[in-house]
Each structure stands twice: as structure tokens, then as C-alpha cells.
Structure 1
Amino acid sequence: MKTPLEWKKYYESPSFRENYIYKGNDLGVSCTAGRTLFKLWSPSADSVTLNLYREGSAGEAYAHIPMSGEENGVWSFAAKENMHGVYYDYTLVIEDETVTSADPYAKACGINGRRSMAVDLRLTDPDGWEFDRSPEKGPEQVIYELHVKEFSWDASGGFPEEVRGKYKAFTCGSTTLYHDGIHPTGLDYLRGLGVTHIQIMPAYDYGSVDEEGEDTQFNWGYDPVNYNVPEGSYSSDPAHGEVRVREMKEMIQALHARGFRVIMDVVYNHTYSLDSWFQRTAPWYFYRVFDDGRISNGSACGNDVASEREMCADYILQSVLYWTQEYHIDGFRFDLMGLLDVGLMNRIRRELDERYGKGEKLLFGEPWAAGETAMEGGAVPALKKNISLLDENIGMFCDDTRDAVKGSALKVKKPGFINGAEEKEEDIISSAGAWCGEQTGKKYGVKAPSQVITYVSAHDNQTLWDKLTETMPGSDREEKMRLNRMAAALYMTCQGTLFLLSGEEFARTKEGMEDSYNAPISLNRLDWEQAWENRSLVEYYQGLIALRKQLPGLCDKSEEASARIFGIAKEEGAVSFLVDNRPQERWSILKIVYNSSRKTKKVSLGGEKWEVLCDGRDSRLWQSPGYVEGETRILPQSVLILGRPRMRAAQNTLKAV
């Protein structure tokens, strides 16, 4: 067998690219009434045999069928029957070595993905699936990151025991917590919170959880095995491949019916293991290798997927399109997007826009990598520094805003603006304009707020509450609650698309753990009791989100949005600015003030009358109008939001008390 470097040189040769790039989009299994077609791309195979099984993990094959070699490295077999529910894998001979592989293009599988399954997808559709539609877009997009198992595991959520940690938990109707009355949990709670998009952490088939093992196993799932198959541990019956397909559709259908769009967290930058179906069917084609023969590991997971190669790029594109078409997915969050190339990301954006309308499907990712990668052929990585090369509707998580607000995610003791760091005022001003204006005299290459995901917490690193605990060791609970409210009000008054980790709004803690990817479910689960205990914080988030949806000056995602921000002033520990909020008639101009000091500060209003919309204690003041003029005050460690019905010149001055 060739070495990795020899394979690399072979795949780079003109003869390979001329003879073995397949242009069709029908690889895998097509299973319909009266016909089943198997197609596999394995350009270096000398022979391929299709093995058929009645079970997804046990039993011997009942048939071994030689497949026919076609052009461009494709092998095929057609049966004149619907083989829905039949399991299969392939035996390949490549350079005198025999390997067995599941189908990298499979759409269903058995236990742990070891065998693929032929599936007639129409037989997996829930009742009414043909009528399933995404909710209409509102004035703002608020993304809530959620793990399938974490969502419903805790008994306090009121979910029936048999669905806890499963897709089915999203379909069981209203759930409640009984605690001095009835309090909504689950989807009713999220609806009340005001989020618009639910981002599901990896729900494709991944390798770190044994689907035959104990139900208490836990992993985030950033270790793909079968990219186009739902994860079986979240289904009620992982042994039958069609069940996970149907139940994931039921979850999405239920989310749509309750008013949520659904974002899928996808990990196309690496696989669970180098011993993957990719590797077994096309050795080293789907992976990067350095010119000295070293295996590329920019993911820090043992391998990097070669997104710049034609068949790999097409695989990723077709996978994204499959999830949108078959599962009605509304957007994608790309793990380590910086390991994928700009050309592919822009191509995915174009294809989605052509099919569904410009910007209709959300597309964003992490604009970084864990290390150097061996990208080939002059391809440009989709890193933060290359944001100007990406379509304006491809977003990136903004670690600059995150770190400016609360401190570095990678240096747990390092604070940000709200928790005592000095000289963060200019970064906060840039954060307000989504880093695409020239308020600070600097340019960052960001085209529009549509390219910026504005957030302070995600599944990676510490929760917001744990970060505050680490950086404010002498603070009591009241001060940390005050800072949590400030963090929320600050990033929710910045331009960009809003994103939060599930439970941030009720001071979720993981006891200081930075990386809980395989920690016990008892640590990772959403604690619905805590949501009740910290309901005043939840209510503050509710009010902020409801207010945000009425502020077009902040919701604007266009290239002209940064021009809405003006009248900037700053001093140590304090920042203020004005926002053109038209066409909103009630408040055509906003005045926003951030005070991170422990002192109350005076705010000069330039002789104008302003309506108080939100302060450090109450985010629903806009519901009961109260007015200030001439001068007002901002509480310590808080955000003040004022609204004025007509735009006039205003002086923006701050004075410490």
C-alpha cells in the first residue's frame, strides 16, 4: 500500500483529476418503490463487493454481490426491488489489501454506524411532514445553543422518564416544574424567553457514545462517524436504522411548530478516527498530509479533512444540502470553520441562496483552527483574518467581543470590561458596531454585522457564571448577578447576530470546568430548578430579548449599519453612544451607556427628554414609560438604555459621582 505522501502525489496528478472526479450527486443508496441503487466512489479499488444483512450489528451476510465498475471511480449495483431496512457494507480490494467498510454516503445505519442501511426516506416521514414549514423570520435572530441530551435529562424538567435525553423529549408537549406554582420548562420556557433559533449540538452519528451502552453516557458529539445519519443514542431504538431518522424529523417538526428555526452544528473539519469510511474506501483522499509526509492535525483531533479537494468539497456541499432538503434544517454552525476553505464556504452559501433565497439559511462558524493545516492548491482558509473574502452572509463567532466583555476564554483568570480590566473601552465601542465601522479609527475587514456572531458564552470554555466566579473571587452572589445582567445587556446592545449558551440566562454553572465534552450528564444537564431559583435573571434576559426585537438600529445586518452609531464618548470604565433607531417610531434614537465601575455615574442628557427603557435592575422599563431629562444616573456595573422619539443633536458626557 502507498504511503500517505505517495497517495497525496497521486491525487494531485492531472491524470487522477481528469479520470476520477465524479460529477453526479447520487452516491450512496437511492431506495424507492421497485428499485434500489447502490453507488460508491472508490477510485483506487480493484474490486468492490456489496454485502447484505438482515440486522444492523449481528448476523452473517445473506448475500455477497460483486459491484460493477463505472467511469470516474464509481462502483454500482441496482436491484429491482425496494430494499428499505436492509443493512449493508462493502468489501474492497485496494492494492492487494482487503478491507470492509460501511458507506460514507449512507443516510441510515445500524448500531454505532458499523453497518449502513438502505432507507426509503418517504417511509420515515412523520405524519404531516409534507406540511412542515420553518417559522417566518422576525425582526431579530436570537440563537440558543442546546444539546439534545442536556435539554431533558434532569427530572425537574417534567419530561416523561422514557423520553429524557432523547429526540422525543422535544415532542411531548408542555412540560412544567412544580415549585410554589407551575413554571414552564422545555419548549414553553424557551418560547417565553424569546429565542428564535435553536442550535442543536451535534446530532449526526458520532463515535464517542456506545449506542448499546448505558444511557448515562455523555459526549458533546464532535467526533463524526456518519455525516448524513442522525445519532442513535438519542433515539428510542438505535438498533433499527429508520427510527432515528423519523424521530429526528419529529424533533425538528415540533420545534418548527412551536415557532423555532433549527440550526445544525456540523463538524466537517475532522473525523472521529483516521480509520474512517473515507479512509477505507479512498485511502488518504479525504485527509490532508504535509509535503514531508506528516499527517495534518490542525483540528487537534488527529486528522484534518481536505475540504479543498473536489470530491471532498462536493461531499460536504451535498451533505449540507441533504440536511436542508430532507430534514428541513434552517442553518448550520461549522465547527473549526478555519480548517475549511473560503472557496467551499462561499460555494455552500451560493447554493443555499439559489435554493432558498438570499440569506434565508443561516451559515456561520468558528473562524479559527487548533493548529497549522496542510491546505493544498492555493486554497485560503476561512479564518478570521480572511473574513473580507467570505460572503457577507457567512458569520463568524466574534471572540473579540466575547473577550472584551468578560475576559479571555482561554485565560480563565483574565477579566474583561465588566469585571475590572483596564483599557477595554475602545474594544467595547468596536463591539457595539460589530467591528465593521470606523468608530475607533480601525478597520477589521468585516463587511457587515451579518458576519458577526455576538456572544459571551458557548459550550466551549467556562460558562459565563463560572468565568465571573473565577475573575471576581471576592465578589458576593449579588455582585455576580449584577455582572451577569450587565454582560447580557452589553452584548444584546451590540450589532450582530445574538447567540447564547443554554442556561446562561439562569447562571448555569459547570463547577468551573472549562471543557465538559465527556463529563457526566449530571454536570452537563440543564438544571430546571436553577432556572426557577434564578427566575429574576431569566426575566431580565426575557425583557432584553423582547426590547432588542424593537430596536432596528441594533438589529440591522446591512453594510450601512455601522453608520447608525454615533456620538461616542468614553472614560475609564464607561462608554456611551447614540444609535439611529429608525424606522422605529416610538424611539427613533437610542442612548446606550455602559458603566463597569463600582460607582454610580451621572449622565448628561443635553436638555433632552428621554424614555428609560432598561437599567441594571429592570429590562422591562419600556413597558411602563418613565422619563428623564437634563441629567440622570447610571448604576454601578450596569447598562442604561434610553429612547427618544425624535432625533436631535445630543451631547454625550459622563461624570463620575
Structure 2
Amino acid sequence: MKTALEWKKYYLSLEFRGNFIYNKDDLGVSCTDSGTSFKLWSPSADSVTLNLYHEGSGEEAFSHIVMDKEEKGVWHWSTDEKLHGVYYDFTIEIDGEIHDSADPYAYACGVNGRRSMAVDLDLTDPDGWEQDRAPAKGTEQIIYELHVKEFSWDPSGGFPEKYRGKYKAFTCADTTLYNDGVHPTGMKYMKDLGVTHVQIMPSYDYGSVNEEGKDTEFNWGYDPVNYNVPEGSYSTDPAHGEVRIREMKEMIQALHSQGFRVIMDVVYNHTYSLDSWFQRTAPWYFYRVFDDGRISNGSACGNDVASEREMCAKYILESVLYWTEEYHFDGFRFDLMGLLDVELMNRIRNELDLRYGKGEKILFGEPWAAGETAMEGDAVPALKKNMALLDENIGMFCDDTRDAVKGSALKIKRPGFINGARGKEEDIIKSARAWCMPDDSPKTEESGTGIKSPSQVITYVSAHDNQTLWDKLTETMPGADEADRMRLNRMAAALYMTCQGSLFLLSGEEFARTKGGLEDSYNASITLNRLDWEQAWKNRDLVEYYKGLIALRSQLPGLCDKTPHAAERIRDVKKSEGLVSFAVDNCSEEGRDRWDMLRIIYNSSSSVRILPVGDGAWEILCSGEDSSLWRTHNPAGKSIQIEPQSVLVLGRASGDAGTTETDIEETQERQIRWA
């Protein structure tokens, strides 16, 4: 067998690229009433045998069929018989070596994904699936990151025991705390909070949990085995391939019915191991190798997928489109997007826009890699420093805002603006503008060349990676009591929710979710990772603070604006040690806004500050203690007092006599430009 480097040279040759790039979209299995067709791309295979089974594991094959080699490296066999529910794999001979492999293009599989399954997808649709539609877009998107198992595993959630940790838990719309009938959990809780988008952590078939094992087994799931198949451990019956498909669809249908759009967390940058179906069917084609023969490991997971190669890019694009079309996903979050190439990401964006309308499907990712990768040719990685090359509707997680607010996620003892770090004021105002002004680009090696608009920025302070916000505050505030940490938690929330960009939060951040300080809980116990719905009600005051902020946010077009000129709304910036203050032009294109101007003040110091407000009928919308002051009239005087370690949001009533002619002219000018 050739070495990895020899395979690389072969795949880069004109001979290979001229003879083996297959452009049709019919790889995998097509199973309908008219019959069943199997197609596998294995360009270097000398022979391929299709093996058919009655079950997804165990027993011997009941049929062995020698497949025919067709053009462009495709192997094919078809029958008039409908083989729905029949399992299969391939025996492949390449350069004298024989391997058994499942189908990398499969849509269904048996337990643990070792065998693929032929499936008539129409038979997996739940009742009413054809009528399933995403809810209408609102003013702003609030993305809530959820893990399927974490969501419903704890008994406090009140979910039926047989559905706990499963897709089916999402079909339970009226759960309450320990079934008390009073305190909502689950879907009703999220709806009340104001969540608009639910981001589901990896739910394709992954390899780090045994689907035949105990329900207590846990992993985040960033370990792809079968990219186009739902994970079986979240189904009520992982042994039957059609069940996981139907139940995932039921989950999405239920989320849509409750008013949530659904984002899929995808991991196309690496596979669970190098011994993958990719490798067994086309050795080293789907993986990067350095010119000295070293295996590329920019993912820190043992391999990097070669997204820049034609058939690999085609695979990823078709996979995204499949999840969108067959499962009705409303967007995608790309793990380590910096390991994928700019051309592919823009191609995915363009195809989604052509099919569903510009920007209708949300697309964003992590604009970094864990290490150097062996990207080939002229391909450009989709790193943060290359954001200017990406479509304006491809977003990125903004770690600069995250770290400015609460301190470095990687240096857990290092604080940020809210918890004691000095000299962060300039980064905080840049965060408010979503780093969109010409001089806002962070001066770091991995950052820097022009964010086009806030549509490219995901503003957040916590995600599944690293410590929870509460644990970070605990780490950086030794000796502080719970009241101090609660105050800082409220400040963090009010700060990032008054920045431009799209808002994102880890599930449970709003009720002080803790993982006991653990920095990386990817394979820790479910008891540590689960959502504790009892804590959501114990810390209800904090939840209400988040709820008020989210509801207020939708009424602030000056912060929700995603156009390239949005940063120009922020003006009259004032900074001193521990204090940042700025005004926001809050007029929308329609011009029917409750407040035409905002004044936002961040005070991270330990002392009370008093600031002049200016002319006009200003009112207090949010303080460090109460984020729902905007629901009633709370007038502010000519000057305002802001408490230590808190955020204050003021609004000037639209049409107030204090509005000057200059204000009106500037507002009209902006409205013309935004239109």
C-alpha cells in the first residue's frame, strides 16, 4: 500500500483529477418503491463487494454482490426490489489489501454505525412533516446552546423517564419542575426566557459513546463517524436505523411548533479516527498530509479533513444541504471553521441563499484551529484574520469580546473588564461596535483584517468549551460571596447583550450554571453536565434579569442593526478607568421607535459614578439590579448615578422636545443610507 505522501502526490496529479472527480449527486443509496440503487466512490479500488444483512449488527451477510465499476471511480449495483431496512457494508480491495467499510454517504445505520442501512426516507417522516415550517424571523436572534442529553436527563426537568436524554424529550412541551405543574422547564421555560434559536450540539452519529451502553455514558459528541446519520444514543431504539431518523425529525418539528429555529452543530474538520469510512474507501483522499509525510493535526484530534479537495468539498456541501432539506435545519454552527477553507464556506453560503433566500439560513463557526494544518494549493483557511474574505452572512464567535468582558477563557485565573482587569476600556467599546470600525481589529496574530458588519459577529461570554461564566467568576474572584458573583454575572449579561452582533449563550448561563470549575467537561459524567432545572428556579432572580434583557434587546434597533454602517450608530464615547459610556442612535428604518437615542454606561469600578445625561426626557431602561425597568416609566434626571459593578441603560423618548435639529438631520441621513 502507498504511503500517505505517495497518495497525496497521486491525488494532486492531473491524471487523477482528470479521471476521478465525480460531479453527480447520487452517491450512497437511493431506496424507493421503484427499487434500490447503491453507488460508492472508491476510485482506487480493484474490486468492491456489497454485503447485505438483515440486522445492523451480529449475524453474517445473507448476500454478497460484486459491484460494477463505472466512470469516475464510482461502483454501482441496483435492483428493482425495495430494500428499505436492509443493512449493508462493502468489502473493498485496494492495492492487494482488503477492508470492510460502511458507506460514508449513508443516510441510516445500525447500532454504533458499523453497518449502513438502506432507507426510504419518506417512511421516516412524522405526521405533519410536510407542513413543518420554521417560525418567522424576529427582530433579533438569541441563540441558546443545548446538548440533547443534558437538556432532559435530570429528574428535576419533569420529563418522562423513557424520554430523558433522548430526542423525544423535545416533544414534551409542558414539562414542569419535578412535575409540580407550576414551574416550567424545558421548552416552555426557553420560550418564556425569550430564546429564538436552539443550537443542538453534535447530533450526527459519533463514536465516543457506546449506543448499546448505559444511559449514563456521556460525551459532547465532536467525534464524527457517519456524517449524514443522526446519533443513535439519543433515540429510543438505536438498533433500528429508521427510529433515530424519525425521532430527530420529531425533535425539530416540536421545536419549530414552539417558535424556535434550530441550528445544527457540525464537525467537518476531522473524524473520530483515521480508521474511518473515508479512509477505507479512498485512502488519504479526505485527509491532509504535510509535504514531509507528517499527518496534519490542526484539529488536535489526530487528523484534518481536506476540505479544499474537490470530492471532499462536494461531500461537505451536499451533507449540509441534505440536513437542511431532509431535516429542516435552520442553520449551522461549524466546529473549528478555521480548518475549512474560505471558498467552501462561501460556496455553502451561496447555495443556501439560492435555495432558501439570502441569509435565511444562519451560518457561523469558530474562526480558529487548534494548530497548523496542511491546506493545499491556493486554499485560504476560514480563520478570523480572513473574515474579510468571507460572505457577510457567515458569522464567527468573537473571543475578543468574550475575553474583554470576563477574562481569557484559556488562562482561567486572568480577569476581564467586569472582574478587575485594568486597561480593558478600549476593548469594551470595540466590543460594543462588534469590532466593525476600521481601527477596531484586534492586534493579535490570529486577528485582524476587517469584519464587514455585525452580521459576522457572534457576541457571547460562555459556550460549552472552557469554564461556565459562573465558574470563571468564581475562579477570578477568590473570597467573593454569592451576592458579589451574582452582581458580576448580571453585569456580564447586560454588557454583552448591549453590544452589536448576534447574541449567543450556553444553556444554563442564565441560572448560574456550574460544572464545579471543570474547564473541559467533554467526557465528564452526565451528572456534572446535565441541566439542573431546580437551580433554574432557585436562581430565578438571575433568570428574570436575563429575560428582561432579552425582551429589551428586541426593542433596540441600534444594537440589532446588522448592516455595514451599524457601528456608526455608536458615538459620544467616554472612557475612564473602570468606566465606559456611549450613546446609540436607536432609530429604525421605519422610524417608529419608543426611544430614539440610548445612553449605555458600564461601571466595573468599586465606587458609585455620577454622569450627566443631557437634554431630553430620558428614562432608565435597565440597571444593575433590574433589567425590566423599561416596562414602566422611570424618568432619569439631568445626571444619573450608576452603582458599582453594574450596567445602566437609558433611553430618550422619541419625538422629545430635547431632540435637536442636528439630531434629526443625522438620523434622517442614516435612515437614507441604511435604506
Q: TM-score range, shorter-chain basis? A: over 0.9
List aligned pairs for 1:114-513, cutoff 5 A. Answer: 114-177=114-177, 182-438=182-438, 444-513=449-518
The residue identity in structure 1 corresponding to 2:634 is: G
Change (3 A) 1:464 1:228: same
Once the two structures are superposed, residues 375-414 of structure 1 have per-residue CA deviations (whole angstroms, 9 ceiling, x without a partner) of 0011000000000000000000000000000000000000
List aligned pairs for 1:572-651, cutoff 5 A. Answer: 572-583=577-588, 584-646=592-654, 647-648=659-660
For the 8 Å contact 1:435–1:444, the answer to whether it is kept is no
For the 8 Å contact 1:608–1:629, the answer to whether it is kept is no
The reply on whether 1:113 has 2:113 as its aligned counterpart is yes
2-structure distance, mates of 1:181, 1:639: 35
Measured after TM superposition, the shift of residue 180 of structure 1 is: 8.7
Report the TM-score, using the length of structure 2 for normalisation. 0.95
For the 8 Å contact 1:35–1:79, the answer to whether it is kept is yes
Other structure's SS at 1:183 match: coil
Once the two structures are superposed, residues 280-332 of structure 1 have per-residue CA deviations (whole angstroms, 9 ceiling, x without a partner) of 00000000000000000000000000000000000000000000000000000
1-structure distance, mates of 2:359, 2:179: 43
Measured after TM superposition, the shift of residue 626 of structure 1 is: 1.0
2-structure distance, mates of 1:366, 1:21: 30
2-structure distance, mates of 1:378, 1:266: 25
Other structure's SS at 1:90 match: strand
Measured after TM superposition, the shift of residue 178 of structure 1 is: 5.2
The reply on whether 1:547 has 2:552 as its aligned counterpart is yes
Measured after TM superposition, the shift of residue 608 of structure 1 is: 3.2
Other structure's SS at 2:255 match: helix
The reply on whether 1:566 has 2:571 as its aligned counterpart is yes
Measured after TM superposition, the shift of residue 173 of structure 1 is: 2.5
Other structure's SS at 2:351 match: helix
1-structure distance, mates of 2:643, 2:180: 32
181-190 vs 86-95, which moves further: 181-190
Measured after TM superposition, the shift of residue 437 of structure 1 is: 1.7
Other structure's SS at 2:599 match: strand
2-structure distance, mates of 1:298, 1:642: 46
Measured after TM superposition, the shift of residue 586 of structure 1 is: 1.1
Once the two structures are superposed, residues 16-75 of structure 1 have per-residue CA deviations (whole angstroms, 9 ceiling, x without a partner) of 000000001110001111211100000000110100000001110000011110100000
2-structure distance, mates of 1:198, 1:178: 23
Measured after TM superposition, the shift of residue 560 of structure 1 is: 1.1
Measured after TM superposition, the shift of residue 474 of structure 1 is: 1.8
2-structure distance, mates of 1:642, 1:550: 13
For the 8 Å contact 2:491–2:647, the answer to whether it is kept is yes
Change (3 A) 1:138 1:93: same
Gapped regions of structure 2 (runs ≥ 5): 443-447, 664-675
The residue identity in structure 1 corresponding to 2:177 is: L
2-structure distance, mates of 1:227, 1:350: 21
List aligned pairs for 1:37-76, cutoff 5 A. Answer: 37-76=37-76
Measured after TM superposition, the shift of residue 448 of structure 1 is: 0.3
Measured after TM superposition, the shift of residue 607 of structure 1 is: 3.6
Once the two structures are superposed, residues 136-190 of structure 1 have per-residue CA deviations (whole angstroms, 9 ceiling, x without a partner) of 0000000000000000000000001000000000002200015997100000000
2-structure distance, mates of 1:546, 1:447: 27
Measured after TM superposition, the shift of residue 439 of structure 1 is: 7.2
For the 8 Å contact 1:430–1:439, the answer to whether it is kept is no
For the 8 Å contact 2:468–2:513, the answer to whether it is kept is yes
Once the two structures are superposed, residues 310-361 of structure 1 have per-residue CA deviations (whole angstroms, 9 ceiling, x without a partner) of 0000000000000000000000000000000000000000000000000000
The residue identity in structure 2 corresponding to 1:573 is: G
Identity %: 75
List aligned pairs for 1:527-542, cutoff 5 A. Answer: 527-542=532-547
The residue identity in structure 2 corresponding to 1:631 is: S
The residue identity in structure 2 corresponding to 1:207 is: G
Other structure's SS at 2:423 match: coil
For the 8 Å contact 2:158–2:179, the answer to whether it is kept is no
Measured after TM superposition, the shift of residue 611 of structure 1 is: 1.0
Structure 2 partner of 1:4: 4
RMSD over aligned CA atoms reads 1.2
The residue identity in structure 2 corresponding to 1:628 is: A
Other structure's SS at 1:242 match: helix
Other structure's SS at 2:537 match: helix
Once the two structures are superposed, residues 243-280 of structure 1 have per-residue CA deviations (whole angstroms, 9 ceiling, x without a partner) of 00000000000000000000000000000000000000
Change (3 A) 1:287 1:180: closer
Change (3 A) 1:615 1:439: farther
2-structure distance, mates of 1:441, 1:183: 45
2-structure distance, mates of 1:431, 1:123: 48
Other structure's SS at 1:251 match: helix
1-structure distance, mates of 2:441, 2:290: 40
For the 8 Å contact 2:441–2:449, the answer to whether it is kept is no
Once the two structures are superposed, residues 356-377 of structure 1 have per-residue CA deviations (whole angstroms, 9 ceiling, x without a partner) of 0000000000000010000001
Measured after TM superposition, the shift of residue 441 of structure 1 is: 9.3
Other structure's SS at 2:38 match: strand
255-264 vs 470-479, which moves further: 470-479
Measured after TM superposition, the shift of residue 609 of structure 1 is: 2.7
Measured after TM superposition, the shift of residue 440 of structure 1 is: 5.8
2-structure distance, mates of 1:324, 1:534: 37
Measured after TM superposition, the shift of residue 82 of structure 1 is: 1.1
The residue identity in structure 2 corresponding to 1:528 is: W
The residue identity in structure 2 corresponding to 1:452 is: V
Measured after TM superposition, the shift of residue 629 of structure 1 is: 2.2
Measured after TM superposition, the shift of residue 438 of structure 1 is: 4.4
161-170 vs 625-634, which moves further: 625-634
For the 8 Å contact 1:609–1:630, the answer to whether it is kept is no
611-620 vs 438-447, which moves further: 438-447
Structure 1 partner of 2:671: none
Other structure's SS at 2:301 match: coil
